[in-house]
Structure formats: structure tokens, C-alpha cells
Amino acid sequence: MSLSAHEVKQIKKHYANKWLDPVARIEDVFNIRRADGSLVPLKLPEPQKQMIRDGILGKNRDLVGSGISYVSVTNKGRQLGFSVALAAEQLLIAEDFPNTNIFYVATVTEQADDWMRKVQQMIDDANHWPAELGGRSMLNITNTKKVFDKIINDTHIIGLSANPSAIRGKTGISVVFDEAAWAIRERGIARETWKALKYLIRQGGSARIQSTPRLSDEEEFFWGLYKKGEAGSLAIHTYECPAIENWRDLDLEEPLYIDLNNQRRSKMGLSLLTDENIKDLLEKYKSRDNFIVKEGDSIQQDVHIPYWWVNIADLETDRASDLEQFRQENLGVPLDETYKLIKSEWIYSNANDGVEWNARPQGNTNRFILCCDFAQVRDLSAFTVVEEVLVPDRQAMYIERKIVETQADYPEQRDIIFDMHMAFRFSEIQLDFTGHGRVISQMLAEKLDNNSFSSRVLLKNNTFTMQSKEQMAIGFRNIVMPDPITGKSRYRWLHKEKHHQDAIRHCMRVEKEILPQGGVRYSGKMHGRDDHFWSKAQIALVEVPTGVPRAHSGKIRKKTAVDVTDRRSMGQKLIEDINRKRYQIDREEEEAREEILREKRKTFLHNRELNFARKALQNGVVICRTKHKPVKPIHCADRKNCSNPRCPGFKYVEEICARYGVTKDEL
């Protein structure tokens, strides 16, 4: 049945009034896909509703074009749906403000790609008007074919990685800087990126900066901006959005949730509780404030979680496994790196962006080293494969190529190591020769010898004591610590997979502890596990031919003639000499290739700057005093068209040429 003109008008009026609230508009227009692929209406939780209503779709709409911008900084937990909420907001900003630009900036290209795919999904699955109102999508879709450039109502939504030089020179209505605290691949890149972004909206618009926090240092870009805004010393709206709103009222040293149902526990892989266990738990918590006891079902703290897809059982798993990481990633509590041995900035600014290797590449003659830390009860055995890369006139670099963690039994761990040796042909296998390590080392030595490999040459057994662990920790720190000028270290970290991130966490939580009796201990056990750290730290032993470096608290032992004797066999010397000569030849070819690549890159960069200059001159209009008519500034780049040095267009072209390092003739 068709609607009358009056009925159509009433429907439009209804939506116009309802959509004065931007949250209602978002929830009417957009749908989101669940993890199982099903499509459900997008419903915003309360913390996100407040942010959206405060923005330029709501209370601060009148700031657009005023020269004042609405700027917000959000300290949030991970996986709480903020990227989806911002995607919906940016799409509606594009609807309301046509013929402009919206920029989403992420720390890495992969993250920008992921967000742009969310935007595409929300465009594709947006609701449609009823057939009586035309039946078209509620979004005015122009062109969404490009991955990093979606056009809605003639407004471009552009995804970028944090790169200040690629941002400058543009203008826009809205910018989003996601995970800003983790833009640390280069020194000062977060601050420089924000400097470039804020000028895009100089005429008045919206800027949203959001992240899980990294450091509790107010000199750090994100945390400093958030704290200054929170204190009211900057014109910034701040939002604290943890997974648990009332976390300060909870006892985080105690479980958030204990499942008393053995049927559910069995499905989740938890150990079953006896009647005596359940009785003890009920007795312990039934009189405790802030604990809710449901006999036969569960015991939990009175947590307030505004995000309905966040499960308290999952939060408890995170809390129990790593309290420090739980506080940072779920509650928005920054890490205090005051006492940390390895700083997070040293890691993420020296990342290996490649994927894991499963074997030595054909023709690769570098030394590969395996470092192993073996598990105690309930811990992990951690293995790190490192490639040693020789650099002329400098110390060697170490690049992670594979990380393995396992809780398998001894024979399986031995077989894992042996299989990796067959794939990489290690020059050394550094082993934790303490406790479990003694057994696995002996089993591995036997298997190597039975397969015609010399265990005496390959295996380097390291007894872990408090003194030797201090020596390894200091040695590894010296390798990892960046050069004060270049900001680069001699170690490159794998970081893309979850087990890479877990391994990094092990390293980031290790602290120096002064013991009451006067000794020094390095450990990360107070915050969780540190097994991967002790795996990686053994790389420090590779550079010390006479054993571990002496710690300040250890005894001094003078080197004897035996210490400095070259113990390599003639065969080893011959092979190393052949490899060295081969490396020299390969290095010469590599340098020639690098020179060609440098020239290509130089040309590429110049052409890119030339394109930037052209785009800048194709925007706006000036009055040409030579031709006496309004023209685009690019017109004035042609010497035939413009020869008056006092002409605004002439001066503007010269400024653009100077800024981008190009000439008028090239333009």
C-alpha cells in the first residue's frame, strides 16, 4: 500500500526529531556483524553514548566552521567496541558535512586496513528506507571500492598510518588518532602526527584521540594529553572507559569470578571442585563485602560492566594470568616503567615486521642460534630462534625469526628442538641447564649424537643461578638498549602474532629487585611469567666467549692462557672462512643493490612531493594579475601565464615550491 504525501512527510518529521539525538540515529542506521557472522543492530553502551552526544553530531555541532575544534581523549580498555562506534560517527559526519575529508590514523597500516574494513561492513549492512520512501540505503553512498578511501556524500573517509609527512597539507572536518600511545616506531612520531592532524581541522571540526595507555609518564604524548585534559589545563574532553566501571571498589588480588558448576568448569577446561572445595570457598567469601555468592552456581565480586559482550569469566582469566597486563588492557591503568629492565619503547621502535620463518632460507649463510628456557611446574618452555647478522665495523645484530612456547613433556620438547635444528642448522643451542633443563639437555644430546651431530659443539649448557641470571639480564639489556643517536638497537623483535606479544610481555615485566640480604634479583614473576625473557637473555652469552659476563656482585676470576685459546677445530675454521668469503661477496652485491634502491627511493620521494605540490595548487582560487581573472593556483605555475612577482598566485606558487622542494618547470 502506497503512502500519502502527508504520511511520508510525517515519517520524515518523526525521524528528523528522533535523530536530533545522534545515538538514536546511529542505532537506527547501522548493523554490526558478530564473531559468528550473524548481523545484529548496533547498540551503543553508555560510555560511548556520552562521547557521541558530546561530539559535532550533538552538543558541539556549532563548532564546525568556527575555528574552534572539539577534541576528545579517551583512555579505554581493549576490545570494547570504540573503533566501531567511531566508524559509525565518522560515516554520519560524512553524511552531514559533504565535500570534505575525514582522516583515520593508526599506528600501523594493518590497523588502518582493519578499521577501513569495519567501515566497509557498516556501509554494506546499513539499513534502507522503506520502499514507500524510495528503498535506498540510509547512507548516501558515492564510491567505496578503494580500501583506504571511502566516499560518502562526496566526503572522503581516508585511512592512514602514523606518518606526519603524508598528513601535512590536507584539510578536513574530522580526524581520529587510534591507539596513539603505541605510535612509537620512531622517536616522537605520536607528537609529530598530532601536530600534523590538528592543523587539518583548523577551521573547526572534530578530533578524537583514543588508546589503551602505555606509560604513567606525563611526558609521554597520550598520557600527558589525557592528564592535562582531565585537570582542565587544556581545552580537551577526557573520557575514562575501563571494562569494569567500579574497578577501584574491587579487590583485584582476589578472584573476580569463581564458577562452582563442575559441568561448566569441565567445558572450559578448569579443574573440578570437590564438595569440600566448594564448602571452603562458600565459607571464605559469604561474609565478604562486595562479593555475591550464588550457592551451586558461582561466587563473584559486584562488578559493573557496561559492555554486554564482555564476559566476567574471561576477565577473571586475564586477571589470574597477568594482573599487570589486566590492569593496563582492561582498566586503562598505565604501566609504571620506573623499575623495568626493558622499556616498551625500546621494543616497538625496533620491531621485525616480517613473519616467522620455519626454516633457514636457501643460500643464507648467517649463524642461527636457538635459546631455550625450560619449564618449571605450570610454566612454559620458551624457545627463541635468532639470526646473527654481521655488520661491517659494528657489533652483530640479532633478529628474531621464530618463537615457540610449549608445556609438552620432556621427549616432545626434545623432538621440537631437534626438528628446529634440522630446519635451521643452528650454530649454537643455548640451554637452561637447571632443573628440568638437565634432563632435556641430556635427552637432546643423545639424539643429536645418534644423528651424527656433535652435541659437544652445539649445546651450551647454562646453569641458572641468581648471579648468572643477573649477568644475562644486564648483557641482554645492553644489546636491546637503543643507540642514543639513531634510536636503534642491535635486537629486532617479532611482534605480529599473539605469542610474540606474550613473549614481549614477559620481557617488559622484568624488574630489578634489591633483596634484604643485599643481593640483586631480576624477575617478572611478581606480575606473571617471565620465561620468554630468560630464553632471549641467553643471546648475551653468544658474545662472551669465556662464559657469562661478570656481574658487579660476583667474584673476579683472572683469565688464564686456557681462557683465550682458540678451541675451534680445523674443520670449523675452514667452514667459517668459506662462509666469511661468501658473505663478503654477497655483501658487495647487496651494497650495489642498495645503491640502486636508494636512487629509486630518492626519485619516488621527489615524485611524491611533486604530487603533493600539484594537489596543493589545484585547491582554491586566486585572482591572476597577469590574466586579470580568477584561476586555480596551478595556473600561476606556468611561466607563460604568470610573470608578475607581486601577484598573490605567483608568491603562493613560490612558497609551495620551496615547501616541497620542486621547481615551477617540474610542475
CA dihedral 190, 195, 199, 202 (to 10 degrees): 100
Contact 189, 167 (CB under 8 A): no
Statement: residue 561 has pLDDT above 50: no
Instruction: Answer yes or no: are the C-beta atoms of 585 and 604 closer than 8 Å.
Output: no
Could you tell me which residue, 554 or 445, shows the higher pLDDT?
445
Average pLDDT rounded to a whole number, residues 112-117? 93
Cβ distance 158 to 101 under 8 Å?
A: yes
- Per mean pLDDT, which range of 125-129, 353-357, 558-562 is the poorest? 558-562
Instruction: Locate 603 and state its grid cell.
Output: 626519485
pLDDT at position 587? 60
What is Dmax (Cα atoms) for the chain? 104
Cell triple for residue 281?
570457598
- Above 70 in pLDDT, residue 558? no
- The residue ranking higher by pLDDT, 640 or 281, is 281
CATH number for the region 344-553 comes to 3.30.420.240
Percent of the chain with pLDDT over 70: 92
CA–CA separation, 333 vs 314, rounded Å? 18
pLDDT at position 413 is: 93
Q: What is the pLDDT of residues 35-45, one digit of tens each?
A: 888 999 999 99
Q: How far apart are CA 654 and CA 402, in angstroms?
A: 52
pLDDT tens column, 635-661:
888 877 877 777 777 877 888 888 778
- 267 and 325 in contact (C-beta within 8 Å)? no
pLDDT in tens, 1-36: 577 777 778 888 888 899 999 999 999 999 999 888
Question: How do residues 247-268 score in pLDDT, each as one tens digit?
Answer: 999 999 999 999 999 999 898 8
Consecutive H or E run containing 431? strand 428-432
Terminal-to-terminal C-alpha distance of the chain: 60
What is the pLDDT at residue 547? Answer: 47
Please tell me the predicted confidence (pLDDT) of residue 378. 64
Question: What pLDDT is stored for residue 546 in this prediction?
Answer: 45
Nearest CA to 543 among 631, 627, 643, 474? Answer: 474
Contacts of 396 (CB under 8 A, 6+ apart): 388, 389, 390, 490, 543
Beta bridge partners of residue 158, listed in sequence order: 103, 149
Mean local confidence (pLDDT), 485-496:
87
Alpha-carbon distance of 442 to 528, in angstroms, equals 29
pLDDT at 565 over 70: no
Please determine, for residue 576, whether its predicted confidence score (pLDDT) is greater than 80.
no
Q: What is the pLDDT of residues 205-229, one digit of tens each?
A: 999 999 999 888 888 899 999 999 9
State the sign of the Cα–Cα–Cα–Cα dihedral 300, 304, 310, 315: negative
Contact of 289 with 246, CB cutoff 8 Å: no
The three state secondary structure string of 459-507 is EEEECCCHHHHHHHHHHHHHHHCCCCCCCCCCEEEECCCHHHHHHHHHH
- Which DSSP state fits 118? H
Instruction: Kindly report the backbone phi and psi dihedral angles of residue 105, in degrees, each rounded to the nearest multiple of 5, phi listed first.
Output: -120, 125
Q: Is the pLDDT of residue 70 over 80?
A: yes
From residue 662, give the alpha-carbon distance in Å to each of 197, 610, 656: 24, 6, 8
d(CA 23, CA 8): 23
If one compares 328 and 169, the residue with the highest pLDDT of the two is 328
Secondary structure letter of residue 394 according to DSSP:
S
* C-alpha gyration radius of the chain: 31
pLDDT averaged over the chain?
86
- Predicted confidence at residue 560, as pLDDT, reads 46
Q: How confident is the model at residue 110 (pLDDT cuts 50, 70, 90)?
A: confident
The mean per-residue pLDDT over the stretch 337-364 comes to 89
Please report the pLDDT score of residue 645 as a whole number.
78
Burial of residue 82 (number of CB atoms within 10 Å: 0-12, 13-18, 19+): buried
- What's the pLDDT band for 552 if we cut at 50, 70, 90? very low
> What order of strands is seen across the sheet that includes strand 101-106?
141-146, 149-152, 155-161, 101-106, 174-178, 206-211, 70-76, 237-241
Q: Would you say 340 and 217 are in contact if contact means Cβ atoms under 8 Å apart?
A: no
Helix/strand/coil percentages in the chain, nearest 5: 40, 20, 40
Per CATH, domain 5-241 is 3.40.50.300: yes
Q: Which of 549, 466, 477 is nearest to 507 (CA)?
A: 477
Cα gap 374→434, rounded to integer Å: 8
**Kind of pairing between the strands at 149-152 and 155-161:** antiparallel
Q: Give me the DSSP letters along 599-633.
A: HHHHHHHHHHHHHHHHHHHTSS-EEETTTTEEE-G
CB atoms within 10 A of CB 332: 23
Q: How far apart are CA 529 and CA 549, in angstroms?
A: 25
Name residue, grid cell 559482550: 309
Specify the pLDDT at position 563: 45
Q: What is the mean pLDDT of residues 319-324?
A: 85
Q: For position 15, what pLDDT does the model report?
A: 86
- Give the per-residue pLDDT at 442: 93
Distances (CA, A) of 486 to 32, 281, 483: 44, 56, 6
Q: Quote the pLDDT of residue 194.
A: 92
> What is the pLDDT averaged over residues 53-59?
95
Percentage of the chain modeled with pLDDT above 90: 49
> Is the pLDDT higher at 487 or at 568?
487
74: cell is: 579517551
Q: Please report the pLDDT score of residue 550 as a whole number.
A: 46
Q: How far is CA 423 from CA 363, 374, 386, 579, in A?
A: 13, 21, 13, 19
- Could you please report the per-residue DSSP string of 532-600? HHHHHHGGGGGG-TTSSPPPTTSPP----TTTTS----HHHHHHHHHHHHHHHHHHHHHHHHHHHHHHH
Lowest mean pLDDT among 124-128, 187-191, 368-372, 446-450: 187-191
User: Poorest-confidence range of 381-385, 500-504, 554-558, 637-641?
Assistant: 554-558
| CA atoms of 441 and 429, how far apart (whole Å) | 10
Q: What CA–CA distance (Å, rounded) separates 613 from 635? A: 13
Q: What is the pLDDT of residue 554?
A: 43
In this structure, the dihedral spanned by the alpha carbons of residues 647, 651, 653 and 659, taken in order and rounded to 10 degrees, is: -170
Residue 566 has a pLDDT of 59
Least confident of 123-132, 160-169, 265-274, 552-561: 552-561
Average of per-residue pLDDT across 579-585: 59
Q: In the predicted model, what is the mean pLDDT of residues 154-177?
A: 86
CA 338 to chain centre: 21
Grid coordinates in use for 105? 590514523
How is the chain split into domains, by residue range? 5-241, 247-331, 344-553, 580-667
- Residues ≥6 apart with Cβ < 8 Å to 389: 366, 396, 397, 398, 399
| pLDDT greater at residue 535 or residue 630 | 535
Coil, strand or helix: which one is 7? helix
Bridge partner residues of 397 (DSSP) = 389
**In degrees, to the nearest 5, what angle opens at C-alpha 651 toward C-alphas 648 and 655?**
135
Residue 557 binned pLDDT confidence (cut-offs 50, 70, 90): very low
Can you give the pLDDT at residue 569?
66
From 607, 600, 602, 597, select the one nearest 660 (Cα to Cα). 607
438: its cell numbers? 638437565
pLDDT higher than 60, residue 493? yes
Full-prediction pTM beyond 0.75? no
Which range, of 304-318, 348-362, 536-550, averages the lowest pLDDT? 536-550
Place of cell 568556527: 66
